[in-house]
Amino acid sequence: MTTYQCSACYFPYNEADGLPDDGIAPGTKWEDVPEDWVCPDCGNGKEHFNPAPEQEG
């Protein structure tokens, strides 16, 4: 599963976790998130999200 990040505020969307408070179930792939969904922190549209950089441990 992939994490996507808002390009403006860096809010993360993790496919494994989903966003249950927004009605998006855990395990929901990014392409299945509704096109009209917006970032809960800054209001940017889905098109402003990109795959998050890999974290080095």
Domains of the chain listed by start with CATH number:
1-49 (2.20.28.10)
Asked if residues 35 and 7 have their Cβ atoms less than 8 Å apart, the reply is: no
Element (H, E) at 3: strand 3-6
Q: What is the pLDDT of residue 53?
A: 87
User: What pLDDT does residue 38 have?
Assistant: 97
pLDDT of 56: 52
Cα–Cα nearest to 27, from 36, 18, 40, 37: 18
Helix (H) or strand (E) holding 51: strand 49-51
Max alpha carbon distance in the chain (Å)? 34
DSSP string, 3-28: EEEETTT--EEETTT-BGGGTB-TT-
pLDDT < 50: residue spans in the chain? 57
